[in-house]
Structure 1
Amino acid sequence: MKGAITVIDKGNVRVHSYMAPDASINVTTQLIETPSRIVAVDGQINVADADEVVEYAHGLGKPLDRLIITHEHPDHFQGAARFNAPIHALPVVRDQMAARGDLQDLNGIPILAAEVAPTVPIAPAVEVIDGVPFVFEAVSGGETADQLVIRLPEHGLLVAQDLVYNGTHVFVGHNDIDRWQDILQDLADPAYDTVLPGHGLPAGQAVLVEMAEYLKAARELLGDDGEAYKQAIMERFPTRRIPFIIDIGNYYLFGTRPT
Protein backbone atom coordinates (compact mmCIF):
# COMPACT_ATOMS: atom_id res chain seq x y z
CA MET A 1 0.00 0.00 0.00
CA LYS A 2 1.37 3.41 -1.00
CA GLY A 3 -0.87 5.33 1.38
CA ALA A 4 -1.01 4.98 5.16
CA ILE A 5 -3.95 3.69 7.20
CA THR A 6 -4.56 4.75 10.81
CA VAL A 7 -7.24 2.79 12.66
CA ILE A 8 -9.01 4.36 15.64
CA ASP A 9 -11.33 2.22 17.77
CA LYS A 10 -14.35 4.08 19.12
CA GLY A 11 -16.38 1.15 20.37
CA ASN A 12 -19.19 0.40 17.92
CA VAL A 13 -17.48 2.75 15.45
CA ARG A 14 -14.01 2.34 13.99
CA VAL A 15 -12.28 4.97 11.89
CA HIS A 16 -9.92 3.92 9.12
CA SER A 17 -8.14 7.12 8.06
CA TYR A 18 -6.33 6.74 4.73
CA MET A 19 -3.59 9.31 4.08
CA ALA A 20 -2.36 9.38 0.49
CA PRO A 21 1.40 9.46 -0.21
CA ASP A 22 3.37 12.68 -0.45
CA ALA A 23 3.05 12.72 -4.25
CA SER A 24 -0.73 12.93 -3.73
CA ILE A 25 -0.34 15.76 -1.16
CA ASN A 26 -1.33 13.57 1.80
CA VAL A 27 -5.05 13.91 1.05
CA THR A 28 -7.09 11.91 3.56
CA THR A 29 -10.18 9.81 3.04
CA GLN A 30 -12.00 8.81 6.20
CA LEU A 31 -13.70 5.42 6.32
CA ILE A 32 -16.13 5.43 9.24
CA GLU A 33 -17.05 1.84 10.01
CA THR A 34 -20.37 1.45 11.80
CA PRO A 35 -21.74 -1.92 12.97
CA SER A 36 -22.90 -3.01 9.51
CA ARG A 37 -21.65 -0.52 6.91
CA ILE A 38 -18.98 2.01 5.92
CA VAL A 39 -19.42 5.73 5.40
CA ALA A 40 -16.59 7.24 3.33
CA VAL A 41 -15.66 10.92 3.50
CA ASP A 42 -13.86 12.54 0.56
CA GLY A 43 -12.70 10.79 -2.57
CA GLN A 44 -8.99 11.52 -3.16
CA ILE A 45 -7.09 13.53 -5.77
CA ASN A 46 -5.84 10.61 -7.87
CA VAL A 47 -7.81 7.69 -9.22
CA ALA A 48 -5.04 5.27 -8.18
CA ASP A 49 -5.29 6.42 -4.56
CA ALA A 50 -9.07 6.11 -4.63
CA ASP A 51 -8.67 2.55 -5.91
CA GLU A 52 -6.38 1.77 -2.98
CA VAL A 53 -8.90 3.17 -0.50
CA VAL A 54 -11.74 1.20 -2.07
CA GLU A 55 -9.75 -2.04 -2.06
CA TYR A 56 -9.03 -1.55 1.64
CA ALA A 57 -12.68 -0.75 2.35
CA HIS A 58 -13.83 -3.90 0.60
CA GLY A 59 -11.47 -5.87 2.81
CA LEU A 60 -13.49 -4.78 5.83
CA GLY A 61 -16.34 -6.97 4.64
CA LYS A 62 -19.07 -4.34 4.90
CA PRO A 63 -20.84 -2.42 2.13
CA LEU A 64 -19.91 1.16 1.26
CA ASP A 65 -23.07 3.00 2.23
CA ARG A 66 -22.13 6.37 0.73
CA LEU A 67 -19.31 8.74 -0.17
CA ILE A 68 -19.61 12.21 1.35
CA ILE A 69 -17.80 15.07 -0.39
CA THR A 70 -17.05 17.86 2.10
CA HIS A 71 -16.09 20.64 -0.33
CA GLU A 72 -15.45 21.46 -3.97
CA HIS A 73 -11.66 21.33 -4.17
CA PRO A 74 -10.72 18.68 -6.75
CA ASP A 75 -8.21 16.94 -4.49
CA HIS A 76 -11.16 15.67 -2.45
CA PHE A 77 -13.44 14.39 -5.19
CA GLN A 78 -11.53 13.39 -8.33
CA GLY A 79 -11.56 9.72 -7.34
CA ALA A 80 -15.20 9.73 -6.28
CA ALA A 81 -16.52 7.55 -9.11
CA ARG A 82 -14.28 4.67 -8.04
CA PHE A 83 -16.21 4.22 -4.79
CA ASN A 84 -19.28 2.99 -6.70
CA ALA A 85 -21.53 4.37 -3.98
CA PRO A 86 -24.08 7.19 -3.77
CA ILE A 87 -22.29 10.54 -3.60
CA HIS A 88 -23.61 12.97 -0.97
CA ALA A 89 -22.79 16.69 -0.61
CA LEU A 90 -24.24 20.01 0.40
CA PRO A 91 -26.21 21.42 -2.57
CA VAL A 92 -23.91 24.43 -2.79
CA VAL A 93 -20.88 22.12 -2.94
CA ARG A 94 -22.55 20.05 -5.65
CA ASP A 95 -23.07 23.19 -7.73
CA GLN A 96 -19.49 24.38 -7.16
CA MET A 97 -18.15 21.00 -8.28
CA ALA A 98 -20.28 21.10 -11.42
CA ALA A 99 -18.96 24.56 -12.29
CA ARG A 100 -15.44 23.15 -12.52
CA GLY A 101 -16.40 20.93 -15.42
CA ASP A 102 -14.29 18.01 -16.57
CA LEU A 103 -10.84 17.68 -15.01
CA GLN A 104 -7.88 15.33 -14.89
CA ASP A 105 -5.97 13.91 -11.95
CA LEU A 106 -2.26 14.42 -11.31
CA ASN A 107 -1.48 11.37 -13.47
CA GLY A 108 -3.45 12.74 -16.42
CA ILE A 109 -6.48 10.46 -16.01
CA PRO A 110 -9.66 12.24 -17.19
CA ILE A 111 -12.26 13.05 -14.54
CA LEU A 112 -15.71 13.56 -16.04
CA ALA A 113 -17.87 15.95 -14.05
CA ALA A 114 -20.96 13.82 -14.62
CA GLU A 115 -19.30 10.77 -13.06
CA VAL A 116 -18.32 12.51 -9.80
CA ALA A 117 -21.43 14.66 -9.40
CA PRO A 118 -23.20 14.28 -6.03
CA THR A 119 -26.72 12.95 -6.40
CA VAL A 120 -27.87 13.04 -2.76
CA PRO A 121 -28.15 16.47 -1.08
CA ILE A 122 -27.07 16.88 2.53
CA ALA A 123 -28.99 19.23 4.80
CA PRO A 124 -27.45 20.49 8.05
CA ALA A 125 -29.08 18.20 10.59
CA VAL A 126 -28.60 15.08 12.68
CA GLU A 127 -28.85 11.86 10.69
CA VAL A 128 -28.76 8.48 12.38
CA ILE A 129 -26.82 6.07 10.17
CA ASP A 130 -26.82 2.43 11.24
CA GLY A 131 -27.72 3.50 14.78
CA VAL A 132 -24.97 6.14 14.98
CA PRO A 133 -25.84 9.86 15.12
CA PHE A 134 -23.95 11.94 12.54
CA VAL A 135 -24.23 15.72 12.94
CA PHE A 136 -23.85 17.54 9.60
CA GLU A 137 -22.90 21.22 9.80
CA ALA A 138 -22.47 23.68 6.92
CA VAL A 139 -19.56 26.09 7.34
CA SER A 140 -18.97 29.13 5.14
CA GLY A 141 -15.56 30.71 4.62
CA GLY A 142 -12.09 29.77 5.76
CA GLU A 143 -10.28 27.27 3.57
CA THR A 144 -12.93 27.48 0.87
CA ALA A 145 -16.29 29.14 0.34
CA ASP A 146 -18.43 26.32 1.71
CA GLN A 147 -17.74 23.01 3.36
CA LEU A 148 -19.23 20.32 5.52
CA VAL A 149 -18.16 19.47 9.05
CA ILE A 150 -19.24 16.14 10.51
CA ARG A 151 -19.45 15.34 14.20
CA LEU A 152 -20.09 12.02 15.89
CA PRO A 153 -20.89 13.34 19.36
CA GLU A 154 -21.30 9.94 21.01
CA HIS A 155 -17.79 9.01 19.90
CA GLY A 156 -15.88 12.28 20.38
CA LEU A 157 -15.12 12.39 16.67
CA LEU A 158 -14.75 15.59 14.64
CA VAL A 159 -14.38 15.18 10.87
CA ALA A 160 -12.89 18.59 10.05
CA GLN A 161 -11.26 17.72 6.71
CA ASP A 162 -9.70 20.82 5.10
CA LEU A 163 -10.41 23.12 8.00
CA VAL A 164 -7.45 21.29 9.54
CA TYR A 165 -4.10 20.25 8.09
CA ASN A 166 -1.79 18.10 10.20
CA GLY A 167 1.93 18.17 9.45
CA THR A 168 1.61 19.59 5.93
CA HIS A 169 1.65 23.09 4.60
CA VAL A 170 -1.73 24.78 4.27
CA PHE A 171 -3.68 26.05 1.27
CA VAL A 172 -4.58 29.70 1.87
CA GLY A 173 -5.59 30.43 -1.72
CA HIS A 174 -8.84 32.11 -0.73
CA ASN A 175 -7.07 34.43 1.73
CA ASP A 176 -9.95 34.20 4.20
CA ILE A 177 -7.71 33.77 7.20
CA ASP A 178 -9.64 35.80 9.77
CA ARG A 179 -12.81 33.82 9.16
CA TRP A 180 -10.82 30.59 9.30
CA GLN A 181 -9.45 31.53 12.71
CA ASP A 182 -12.99 32.10 13.96
CA ILE A 183 -14.05 28.70 12.68
CA LEU A 184 -11.17 27.01 14.49
CA GLN A 185 -12.27 28.64 17.72
CA ASP A 186 -15.78 27.31 17.15
CA LEU A 187 -14.43 23.80 16.54
CA ALA A 188 -12.40 23.74 19.74
CA ASP A 189 -14.20 21.42 22.16
CA PRO A 190 -12.49 18.91 24.47
CA ALA A 191 -15.46 16.59 24.08
CA TYR A 192 -14.07 15.78 20.62
CA ASP A 193 -10.78 14.07 21.37
CA THR A 194 -10.24 12.85 17.81
CA VAL A 195 -9.89 15.35 14.96
CA LEU A 196 -9.69 14.08 11.39
CA PRO A 197 -7.86 16.45 9.01
CA GLY A 198 -8.13 16.75 5.26
CA HIS A 199 -4.37 16.40 4.87
CA GLY A 200 -2.29 14.42 7.32
CA LEU A 201 -2.84 11.96 10.13
CA PRO A 202 -5.59 11.95 12.76
CA ALA A 203 -4.89 14.18 15.74
CA GLY A 204 -6.30 15.58 18.96
CA GLN A 205 -7.53 19.03 19.89
CA ALA A 206 -3.96 20.37 19.89
CA VAL A 207 -3.98 20.34 16.08
CA LEU A 208 -6.49 23.21 16.14
CA VAL A 209 -3.98 25.34 18.07
CA GLU A 210 -1.24 24.40 15.62
CA MET A 211 -3.49 25.38 12.72
CA ALA A 212 -4.22 28.74 14.34
CA GLU A 213 -0.50 29.37 14.75
CA TYR A 214 0.13 28.58 11.09
CA LEU A 215 -2.67 30.86 9.94
CA LYS A 216 -1.40 33.68 12.15
CA ALA A 217 1.99 33.37 10.45
CA ALA A 218 0.37 33.20 7.02
CA ARG A 219 -1.50 36.44 7.68
CA GLU A 220 1.77 38.09 8.72
CA LEU A 221 3.85 36.78 5.82
CA LEU A 222 1.43 36.83 2.91
CA GLY A 223 2.04 39.82 0.67
CA ASP A 224 1.94 40.27 -3.08
CA ASP A 225 4.85 37.94 -3.94
CA GLY A 226 3.95 34.28 -3.90
CA GLU A 227 7.50 32.96 -4.06
CA ALA A 228 8.60 35.20 -1.20
CA TYR A 229 5.64 33.97 0.86
CA LYS A 230 6.51 30.35 0.08
CA GLN A 231 10.09 30.75 1.24
CA ALA A 232 9.08 32.65 4.37
CA ILE A 233 6.39 30.19 5.49
CA MET A 234 8.68 27.23 4.83
CA GLU A 235 11.37 28.82 6.98
CA ARG A 236 8.83 29.48 9.74
CA PHE A 237 7.56 25.86 9.65
CA PRO A 238 10.52 23.77 8.44
CA THR A 239 9.07 20.41 9.53
CA ARG A 240 5.80 20.73 7.61
CA ARG A 241 5.62 18.65 4.46
CA ILE A 242 4.25 19.10 0.93
CA PRO A 243 5.30 22.63 -0.12
CA PHE A 244 3.43 21.96 -3.36
CA ILE A 245 0.28 22.90 -1.44
CA ILE A 246 1.72 26.42 -1.14
CA ASP A 247 2.20 26.46 -4.91
CA ILE A 248 -1.46 25.58 -5.42
CA GLY A 249 -2.49 28.44 -3.13
CA ASN A 250 -0.20 30.83 -4.96
CA TYR A 251 -1.89 29.88 -8.22
CA TYR A 252 -5.25 30.91 -6.76
CA LEU A 253 -3.81 34.11 -5.30
CA PHE A 254 -1.35 35.28 -7.95
CA GLY A 255 -1.94 33.15 -11.04
CA THR A 256 1.48 31.50 -10.70
CA ARG A 257 0.99 28.04 -12.13
CA PRO A 258 2.42 25.19 -9.98
CA THR A 259 5.38 23.35 -11.45
Structure 2
Amino acid sequence: MSKMIRRDFLKTLGAAGVVSIGAGAIPFGLGARRALAQTDDRLGKVVVTYTPAARIHTYVAPEDGARVTTHIIETENTLVLVDGQLALPFAQEVLAYAESLGKPIERILLSHDHPDHWSGAVAFDLPLTTTANIAANLQAGLDAGQYQPVEGFQAPETTLIEGSETIDGLTFEFSTVQNAEALEQLVIRLPEAKTIILQDLMYNNTYFFPGFDRPNWISILDTLRQSMVTDGIETVLVGHGVPTTRGALDTGIEYLTMMEELFTTADSAEAVVQAIQARYPSYEAAFILTFYESFFAPR
Protein backbone atom coordinates (compact mmCIF):
# COMPACT_ATOMS: atom_id res chain seq x y z
CA MET A 1 0.00 0.00 0.00
CA SER A 2 1.35 3.46 -0.89
CA LYS A 3 2.89 5.64 1.80
CA MET A 4 0.71 8.43 0.45
CA ILE A 5 -2.27 6.99 2.31
CA ARG A 6 -4.27 10.10 3.14
CA ARG A 7 -1.26 11.76 4.80
CA ASP A 8 -1.66 15.11 3.06
CA PHE A 9 -5.36 15.09 3.84
CA LEU A 10 -4.57 14.63 7.51
CA LYS A 11 -2.17 17.56 7.47
CA THR A 12 -4.67 19.80 5.70
CA LEU A 13 -7.67 19.06 7.87
CA GLY A 14 -5.84 18.60 11.14
CA ALA A 15 -5.10 22.31 11.21
CA ALA A 16 -8.76 23.30 11.00
CA GLY A 17 -10.54 24.86 13.95
CA VAL A 18 -12.92 23.08 16.29
CA VAL A 19 -16.62 23.63 15.70
CA SER A 20 -19.16 23.10 18.46
CA ILE A 21 -22.83 22.68 17.59
CA GLY A 22 -26.03 21.54 19.19
CA ALA A 23 -28.71 19.29 17.77
CA GLY A 24 -32.00 18.51 19.41
CA ALA A 25 -32.98 14.92 19.91
CA ILE A 26 -35.63 13.65 17.51
CA PRO A 27 -38.34 11.60 19.22
CA PHE A 28 -39.02 7.98 18.36
CA GLY A 29 -42.17 7.13 16.48
CA LEU A 30 -41.93 9.56 13.60
CA GLY A 31 -43.34 8.12 10.42
CA ALA A 32 -40.51 8.95 8.02
CA ARG A 33 -37.95 6.25 7.41
CA ARG A 34 -35.14 8.77 7.12
CA ALA A 35 -34.92 12.41 8.12
CA LEU A 36 -32.28 15.10 7.84
CA ALA A 37 -31.26 16.73 11.12
CA GLN A 38 -29.47 19.83 9.92
CA THR A 39 -28.44 23.19 11.37
CA ASP A 40 -27.08 26.16 9.45
CA ASP A 41 -23.79 26.22 11.34
CA ARG A 42 -22.92 22.53 11.03
CA LEU A 43 -20.14 21.59 8.62
CA GLY A 44 -21.45 18.08 8.03
CA LYS A 45 -24.97 16.71 7.99
CA VAL A 46 -26.84 14.09 10.00
CA VAL A 47 -29.26 11.62 8.46
CA VAL A 48 -31.52 9.79 10.92
CA THR A 49 -32.67 6.29 9.98
CA TYR A 50 -35.61 4.78 11.82
CA THR A 51 -35.43 0.99 12.06
CA PRO A 52 -37.63 -1.57 13.84
CA ALA A 53 -35.20 -1.85 16.75
CA ALA A 54 -33.00 1.24 16.94
CA ARG A 55 -32.59 4.74 15.68
CA ILE A 56 -29.39 5.36 13.72
CA HIS A 57 -27.88 8.81 13.30
CA THR A 58 -25.33 9.02 10.48
CA TYR A 59 -23.00 11.99 10.47
CA VAL A 60 -21.60 12.67 6.98
CA ALA A 61 -18.59 14.97 6.74
CA PRO A 62 -18.62 17.71 4.09
CA GLU A 63 -16.89 17.41 0.72
CA ASP A 64 -13.55 18.54 2.12
CA GLY A 65 -13.89 15.72 4.64
CA ALA A 66 -14.41 13.15 1.84
CA ARG A 67 -17.99 12.50 3.03
CA VAL A 68 -16.63 10.20 5.76
CA THR A 69 -19.31 8.80 8.06
CA THR A 70 -19.72 8.17 11.76
CA HIS A 71 -22.80 6.18 12.76
CA ILE A 72 -24.48 6.64 16.14
CA ILE A 73 -26.62 3.63 17.00
CA GLU A 74 -29.15 4.75 19.58
CA THR A 75 -30.80 2.14 21.77
CA GLU A 76 -33.13 2.70 24.71
CA ASN A 77 -30.38 3.64 27.14
CA THR A 78 -27.08 4.02 25.33
CA LEU A 79 -25.17 4.97 22.18
CA VAL A 80 -22.73 2.87 20.17
CA LEU A 81 -20.61 4.73 17.61
CA VAL A 82 -18.90 3.35 14.53
CA ASP A 83 -15.74 5.21 13.45
CA GLY A 84 -14.36 8.51 14.64
CA GLN A 85 -13.85 10.79 11.62
CA LEU A 86 -10.65 12.12 10.09
CA ALA A 87 -10.51 15.74 11.25
CA LEU A 88 -11.13 17.09 14.73
CA PRO A 89 -13.75 19.68 13.64
CA PHE A 90 -15.97 16.95 12.24
CA ALA A 91 -15.45 14.65 15.23
CA GLN A 92 -16.37 17.55 17.52
CA GLU A 93 -19.63 17.91 15.62
CA VAL A 94 -20.32 14.20 16.07
CA LEU A 95 -19.64 14.48 19.80
CA ALA A 96 -21.88 17.53 20.20
CA TYR A 97 -24.71 15.79 18.37
CA ALA A 98 -24.25 12.60 20.40
CA GLU A 99 -24.33 14.58 23.64
CA SER A 100 -27.58 16.22 22.55
CA LEU A 101 -29.22 12.79 22.57
CA GLY A 102 -28.79 12.62 26.35
CA LYS A 103 -27.40 9.08 26.53
CA PRO A 104 -23.91 7.82 27.36
CA ILE A 105 -21.56 6.53 24.67
CA GLU A 106 -21.06 2.86 25.47
CA ARG A 107 -18.20 2.36 23.01
CA ILE A 108 -16.73 3.47 19.69
CA LEU A 109 -16.12 0.69 17.19
CA LEU A 110 -13.38 1.04 14.56
CA SER A 111 -14.14 -0.56 11.19
CA HIS A 112 -10.62 -0.59 9.70
CA ASP A 113 -7.21 1.01 9.97
CA HIS A 114 -7.42 3.91 7.48
CA PRO A 115 -6.94 7.23 9.31
CA ASP A 116 -9.95 9.04 7.87
CA HIS A 117 -12.02 6.85 10.20
CA TRP A 118 -10.07 7.29 13.43
CA SER A 119 -7.81 10.33 13.51
CA GLY A 120 -10.51 12.64 14.85
CA ALA A 121 -11.51 10.22 17.60
CA VAL A 122 -9.42 12.09 20.17
CA ALA A 123 -12.47 14.33 20.52
CA PHE A 124 -14.35 11.58 22.36
CA ASP A 125 -11.79 10.88 25.09
CA LEU A 126 -12.67 7.20 24.76
CA PRO A 127 -10.53 4.41 23.31
CA LEU A 128 -11.63 2.86 20.05
CA THR A 129 -12.56 -0.81 20.10
CA THR A 130 -11.61 -3.08 17.23
CA THR A 131 -10.10 -6.45 16.32
CA ALA A 132 -6.51 -7.39 17.03
CA ASN A 133 -5.68 -7.47 13.32
CA ILE A 134 -7.12 -4.03 12.60
CA ALA A 135 -5.25 -2.59 15.57
CA ALA A 136 -2.04 -4.22 14.33
CA ASN A 137 -2.55 -2.81 10.83
CA LEU A 138 -3.09 0.65 12.30
CA GLN A 139 0.06 0.37 14.42
CA ALA A 140 2.06 -0.80 11.41
CA GLY A 141 0.94 2.31 9.52
CA LEU A 142 2.03 4.49 12.43
CA ASP A 143 5.39 2.75 12.72
CA ALA A 144 6.03 3.15 8.98
CA GLY A 145 5.16 6.84 9.05
CA GLN A 146 2.16 6.33 6.76
CA TYR A 147 -0.32 7.57 9.37
CA GLN A 148 0.11 10.73 11.41
CA PRO A 149 -2.31 10.87 14.33
CA VAL A 150 -3.20 14.07 16.10
CA GLU A 151 -1.88 14.67 19.59
CA GLY A 152 -3.64 12.59 22.22
CA PHE A 153 -4.56 9.66 19.99
CA GLN A 154 -5.01 6.42 21.94
CA ALA A 155 -4.18 3.05 20.45
CA PRO A 156 -7.37 0.98 20.01
CA GLU A 157 -8.46 -1.64 22.48
CA THR A 158 -8.41 -5.09 20.90
CA THR A 159 -11.28 -6.66 22.78
CA LEU A 160 -13.55 -7.07 19.76
CA ILE A 161 -13.90 -10.63 18.51
CA GLU A 162 -16.09 -12.12 15.82
CA GLY A 163 -19.47 -13.35 16.99
CA SER A 164 -22.68 -12.04 18.49
CA GLU A 165 -23.03 -9.60 21.37
CA THR A 166 -26.10 -7.96 22.89
CA ILE A 167 -25.73 -4.30 23.84
CA ASP A 168 -28.69 -2.77 25.67
CA GLY A 169 -31.05 -5.32 24.14
CA LEU A 170 -29.81 -4.93 20.55
CA THR A 171 -27.93 -7.74 18.83
CA PHE A 172 -24.61 -6.88 17.18
CA GLU A 173 -23.14 -9.56 14.92
CA PHE A 174 -19.44 -8.96 14.22
CA SER A 175 -17.51 -10.53 11.36
CA THR A 176 -14.49 -9.56 9.28
CA VAL A 177 -13.33 -9.75 5.68
CA GLN A 178 -9.77 -9.49 4.41
CA ASN A 179 -7.92 -7.93 1.48
CA ALA A 180 -10.59 -5.72 -0.02
CA GLU A 181 -10.61 -1.94 0.50
CA ALA A 182 -8.42 -2.49 3.57
CA LEU A 183 -6.38 -5.42 4.86
CA GLU A 184 -9.15 -6.25 7.33
CA GLN A 185 -12.61 -4.74 7.52
CA LEU A 186 -15.21 -5.13 10.25
CA VAL A 187 -18.74 -5.98 9.14
CA ILE A 188 -21.54 -5.35 11.65
CA ARG A 189 -25.03 -6.79 11.32
CA LEU A 190 -27.93 -5.52 13.41
CA PRO A 191 -30.53 -8.19 12.63
CA GLU A 192 -33.42 -6.73 14.65
CA ALA A 193 -32.80 -3.38 12.97
CA LYS A 194 -32.54 -5.00 9.51
CA THR A 195 -29.29 -3.10 9.08
CA ILE A 196 -25.74 -3.91 8.00
CA ILE A 197 -22.73 -1.65 8.50
CA LEU A 198 -20.19 -2.09 5.70
CA GLN A 199 -18.19 1.14 6.02
CA ASP A 200 -15.51 1.24 3.31
CA LEU A 201 -16.59 -1.97 1.67
CA MET A 202 -19.31 0.23 0.15
CA TYR A 203 -19.45 3.88 -0.84
CA ASN A 204 -22.60 5.79 -1.75
CA ASN A 205 -22.46 8.46 -4.45
CA THR A 206 -18.76 9.01 -3.76
CA TYR A 207 -15.62 7.81 -5.50
CA PHE A 208 -14.14 4.53 -4.25
CA PHE A 209 -10.65 4.11 -2.83
CA PRO A 210 -8.58 1.73 -5.04
CA GLY A 211 -8.16 -0.91 -2.31
CA PHE A 212 -5.92 -3.95 -2.18
CA ASP A 213 -7.56 -6.76 -4.15
CA ARG A 214 -10.46 -5.55 -6.25
CA PRO A 215 -11.52 -8.97 -7.64
CA ASN A 216 -11.73 -10.25 -4.06
CA TRP A 217 -13.57 -7.10 -3.02
CA ILE A 218 -16.13 -7.66 -5.78
CA SER A 219 -16.56 -11.27 -4.67
CA ILE A 220 -17.12 -10.17 -1.07
CA LEU A 221 -19.78 -7.67 -2.11
CA ASP A 222 -21.51 -10.27 -4.25
CA THR A 223 -21.63 -12.70 -1.32
CA LEU A 224 -22.91 -9.96 0.99
CA ARG A 225 -25.52 -8.94 -1.56
CA GLN A 226 -26.94 -12.44 -1.62
CA SER A 227 -26.91 -12.81 2.17
CA MET A 228 -28.73 -9.51 2.62
CA VAL A 229 -31.69 -10.85 0.68
CA THR A 230 -31.79 -13.95 2.86
CA ASP A 231 -31.39 -11.94 6.06
CA GLY A 232 -33.97 -9.31 5.13
CA ILE A 233 -31.48 -6.43 5.35
CA GLU A 234 -33.06 -3.10 4.38
CA THR A 235 -30.53 -0.47 5.44
CA VAL A 236 -26.86 -0.37 4.41
CA LEU A 237 -24.54 2.00 6.25
CA VAL A 238 -21.44 2.99 4.30
CA GLY A 239 -18.09 4.60 5.05
CA HIS A 240 -18.49 7.54 2.65
CA GLY A 241 -21.91 8.97 1.87
CA VAL A 242 -25.44 8.74 3.22
CA PRO A 243 -27.17 5.49 4.23
CA THR A 244 -28.55 3.44 1.38
CA THR A 245 -30.21 0.09 0.61
CA ARG A 246 -28.90 -3.29 -0.46
CA GLY A 247 -29.62 -2.46 -4.10
CA ALA A 248 -26.70 -0.03 -4.01
CA LEU A 249 -24.31 -2.98 -3.98
CA ASP A 250 -25.16 -3.52 -7.65
CA THR A 251 -23.72 -0.09 -8.40
CA GLY A 252 -20.73 -0.72 -6.16
CA ILE A 253 -19.88 -3.94 -7.96
CA GLU A 254 -20.26 -2.17 -11.30
CA TYR A 255 -17.90 0.60 -10.19
CA LEU A 256 -15.25 -1.80 -8.89
CA THR A 257 -15.47 -3.96 -12.01
CA MET A 258 -14.91 -0.90 -14.19
CA MET A 259 -12.06 0.32 -11.99
CA GLU A 260 -10.33 -3.07 -12.13
CA GLU A 261 -10.58 -3.17 -15.91
CA LEU A 262 -9.23 0.36 -16.19
CA PHE A 263 -6.30 -0.30 -13.88
CA THR A 264 -5.49 -3.31 -16.06
CA THR A 265 -5.87 -1.73 -19.50
CA ALA A 266 -5.44 2.06 -19.22
CA ASP A 267 -2.20 3.76 -20.18
CA SER A 268 -2.09 6.05 -17.17
CA ALA A 269 -3.71 6.84 -13.84
CA GLU A 270 -5.01 10.04 -15.40
CA ALA A 271 -6.88 7.98 -17.98
CA VAL A 272 -8.40 5.89 -15.19
CA VAL A 273 -9.60 8.99 -13.35
CA GLN A 274 -11.01 10.58 -16.49
CA ALA A 275 -12.97 7.44 -17.37
CA ILE A 276 -14.33 7.07 -13.84
CA GLN A 277 -15.39 10.72 -13.72
CA ALA A 278 -17.06 10.44 -17.12
CA ARG A 279 -19.05 7.43 -15.95
CA TYR A 280 -19.91 8.89 -12.52
CA PRO A 281 -19.90 12.69 -13.02
CA SER A 282 -22.08 13.47 -9.99
CA TYR A 283 -20.03 11.51 -7.47
CA GLU A 284 -18.50 13.35 -4.52
CA ALA A 285 -15.32 13.02 -2.45
CA ALA A 286 -13.16 13.77 -5.50
CA PHE A 287 -10.14 13.91 -3.19
CA ILE A 288 -10.14 10.11 -3.19
CA LEU A 289 -9.26 10.13 -6.89
CA THR A 290 -5.85 11.60 -6.05
CA PHE A 291 -4.80 8.20 -4.70
CA TYR A 292 -5.34 6.41 -7.99
CA GLU A 293 -1.91 7.39 -9.30
CA SER A 294 -0.09 5.76 -6.39
CA PHE A 295 -1.95 2.49 -7.05
CA PHE A 296 -1.38 2.53 -10.81
CA ALA A 297 1.35 0.18 -12.07
CA PRO A 298 2.72 1.25 -15.47
CA ARG A 299 3.06 -1.58 -17.94
Task: Determine if the alignment matches structure 1 residue 54 to structure 2 residue 95.
Answer: yes
Contact 1:39/1:65, CA 8 A, preserved across alignment = yes
Contact 1:78/1:116, CA 8 A, preserved across alignment = no
Contact 1:50/1:80, CA 8 A, preserved across alignment = yes
Question: Which residue of the other structure, out of 25, 31, 54, is the alignment partner of 1:13?
Answer: 54
Provide closer, same or farther for how the CA distance between residues 155 and 200 of structure 1 changes in structure 2, counting only shifts above 3 A.
same
Q: Which moved more, 1:161-170 or 1:236-245?
A: 236-245
Q: CA RMSD in A?
A: 1.7
Q: 1:9-45, CA deviations, whole angstroms, 9 ceiling, x for partnerless residues?
A: 1244100000000000000000001111100001111
Task: Determine if the alignment matches structure 1 residue 170 to structure 2 residue 208.
Answer: yes
Contact 2:127/2:155, CA 8 A, preserved across alignment = no
Task: Determine if the alignment matches structure 1 residue 226 to structure 2 residue 273.
Answer: no
Instruction: Report the alpha carbon displacement of residue 232 of structure 1 after superposing the two structures with TM.
Output: 1.3
Contact 1:173/1:250, CA 8 A, preserved across alignment = no
Instruction: Report the alpha carbon displacement of residue 173 of structure 1 after superposing the two structures with TM.
Output: 3.9
Which residue number in structure 2 is paired with residue 210 of structure 1? 251
Contact 1:77/1:116, CA 8 A, preserved across alignment = no
Give the 3-state SS of the residue equivalent to 1:116 in structure 2: coil
Which residue number in structure 1 is paired with residue 167 of structure 2? 129
Give the 3-state SS of the residue equivalent to 1:171 in structure 2: coil
Task: State the alpha-carbon separation in 2 of the partners of residues 138 and 224 from structure 1.
Answer: 35
Would you say how many aligned residue pairs link Structure 1 and Structure 2? 248
Give the 3-state SS of the residue equivalent to 2:205 in structure 1: coil
Task: State the alpha-carbon separation in 1 of the partners of residues 267 and 88 from structure 2.
Answer: 35
The 5 Å alignment of 1:34-45 reads 34-45=75-86
Instruction: Report the alpha carbon displacement of residue 140 of structure 1 after superposing the two structures with TM.
Output: 0.7
Q: 1:58-110, CA deviations, whole angstroms, 9 ceiling, x for partnerless residues?
A: 00000011111110111111011212223100101101111222744xxxxx5
Letter in 1 for 2:48: V
Letter in 1 for 2:169: G
Task: State the alpha-carbon separation in 1 of the partners of residues 276 and 239 from structure 2.
Answer: 20
Which residue number in structure 1 is paired with residue 176 of structure 2? 138
Give the 3-state SS of the residue equivalent to 1:43 in structure 2: coil
Instruction: Report the alpha carbon displacement of residue 228 of structure 1 after superposing the two structures with TM.
Output: 1.6
Letter in 1 for 2:258: A
Which residue number in structure 2 is paired with residue 185 of structure 1? 222
Contact 1:72/1:97, CA 8 A, preserved across alignment = yes
| Structure 1 unaligned regions, length at least 5 | 105-109
| Structure 2 unaligned regions, length at least 5 | 1-41
Give the 3-state SS of the residue equivalent to 1:221 in structure 2: helix
Letter in 1 for 2:283: R
Q: TM-score, normalised by structure 1?
A: 0.91
Q: Which moved more, 1:240-249 or 1:36-45?
A: 240-249
Q: Counting strand residues as a fraction of each chain, which structure ranks higher?
A: 1
Q: TM-score, normalised by structure 2?
A: 0.79
Contact 2:194/2:234, CA 8 A, preserved across alignment = yes
Question: Which residue of the other structure, out of 59, 64, 76, is the alignment partner of 2:117?
Answer: 76
Q: 1:153-186, CA deviations, whole angstroms, 9 ceiling, x for partnerless residues?
A: 1111000000000000100142x11101111112
Task: State the alpha-carbon separation in 2 of the partners of residues 73 and 29 from structure 1.
Answer: 14
Instruction: Quote the sequence identity (%).
Output: 38
Task: State the alpha-carbon separation in 2 of the partners of residues 220 and 121 from structure 1.
Answer: 39
Letter in 2 for 1:150: I
Which residue number in structure 2 is paired with residue 107 of structure 1? none
Which residue number in structure 2 is paired with residue 153 of structure 1? 191
Q: Which moved more, 1:185-194 or 1:242-251?
A: 242-251
Task: State the alpha-carbon separation in 1 of the partners of residues 129 and 295 from structure 2.
Answer: 26
Question: Which residue of the other structure, out of 275, 279, 286, is the alignment partner of 1:243?
Answer: 286
Task: Determine if the alignment matches structure 1 residue 200 to structure 2 residue 247.
Answer: no
Letter in 2 for 1:77: W
